[in-house]
Structure 1
Amino acid sequence: MGRVIHFEIHCDKPDRGMQFYQSLFGWSFNRFGDNEYWVVITGDDSEPGINGGLMRRRHAVDGQAVIAYVCTISVDDVDAIALKVASHGGEVVVPKMAIPGVGWLIYCKDTESNVFGIMQNDPDAH
């Protein structure tokens, strides 16, 4: 079975993108090699989840810089994080919605116009 094992965030301004995610989720970033590529550490290896990468946006595809998957981040309180998104230069692009039996989901854009989801686990969501 295929599992998501990595993600990449493409940024016009990598420093601004790193600051956004560090301030919002506490992620850390380690430069990898000589290129503009950073490994994204999203949490402790003892917890479920994946780490990823952040890089300078490259190459246009049909006039679009990158067409990619949306990654969703587990949070304790989607409402609180949605407020932080705005205060850190991002925006909510799809308001809070229930995923019945799973939880609450909000889609946001970061400072680099990348869409990401935030999900609060709540089996009673409806």
Structure 2
Amino acid sequence: MRVVHFELPAEKPDRAVKFYQKAFGWKIEKWAGPMDYWNITTGPDSEMGINGAIMSNEGTIRQTVNTIGVGNLKDAAAKVIAAGGKRLSPDQTVPGIGYFAYFTDTEGNPFGLMQPDKNAT
């Protein structure tokens, strides 16, 4: 089985929506249902990946850690910082896998960025 959806809790969902749109260009739309929920489309269905949502945390403490695949870690990290995110770790080499770093978004949710590179040493 694979992860097919993620949910990101947010104290201020509108702020989180702006962050993810600016940092990653994700399409985010308010759900028409009975709760504060914004559906996230991270890319076209023809590409590997998952979609998810931003939801109001309504004071509940929850954290989700997801890893986001990127083509260039340094460029993606710069976009995260420009959008209001914070770096939690230096860039790390994962031999044979790629390059990785931890960040937080504007809501304090931790996430990782991974630049795949089978030749990483």
Q: Give the conservation status (yes or no) of the 8 Å contact 2:41–2:51.
A: yes
Give the alignment of 1:48-67 within 5 angstroms.
48-58=48-58, 60=60, 65-67=61-63
Which residue of the partner structure matches residue 12 of structure 1?
11
In 1, Cα distance between the equivalents of 2:90 and 2:78?
A: 12
Asked if 1:104 is matched to 2:99, the reply is yes
Q: How far does the alpha carbon of each residue in 1:27-48 deviate from its partner, in whole angstroms, 9 at most, with x for none?
A: 0112221311011100000110
In 1, Cα distance between the equivalents of 2:5 and 2:89?
A: 24
TM-score, normalised via structure 1 length: 0.90
Give the alignment of 1:48-87 within 5 angstroms.
48-58=48-58, 60=60, 65-68=61-64, 70-87=65-82
Which residue of the partner structure matches residue 21 of structure 2?
22
Q: Give the conservation status (yes or no) of the 8 Å contact 2:63–2:109.
A: no
Which structure's relative contact order is higher, taking Cα pairs within 8 Å and 6+ residues apart? 2
The size of the alignment, in residue pairs, is 120
Q: Give the conservation status (yes or no) of the 8 Å contact 1:20–1:110.
A: yes
Deviation (angstroms), 1:67: 4.0
In 2, Cα distance between the equivalents of 1:27 and 1:94?
A: 24
In 1, Cα distance between the equivalents of 2:63 and 2:108?
A: 12
Task: Please state whether the residue corresponding to 1:23 is helix, strand or coil.
Answer: helix
Deviation (angstroms), 1:59: 5.0
2:83 to 84, 88, 92: 88
Structure 2 unaligned runs (5+)?
Answer: none
TM-score, normalised via structure 2 length: 0.94
In 2, Cα distance between the equivalents of 1:66 and 1:94?
A: 21
Which residue of the partner structure matches residue 36 of structure 2?
36
Which residue of the partner structure matches residue 124 of structure 1?
119
RMSD of aligned residue pairs (Cα, Å): 1.1
In 2, Cα distance between the equivalents of 1:19 and 1:34?
A: 22
Q: How far does the alpha carbon of each residue in 1:2-27 deviate from its partner, in whole angstroms, 9 at most, with x for none?
A: 21111001111111101000011110
Which residue of the partner structure matches residue 45 of structure 1?
45
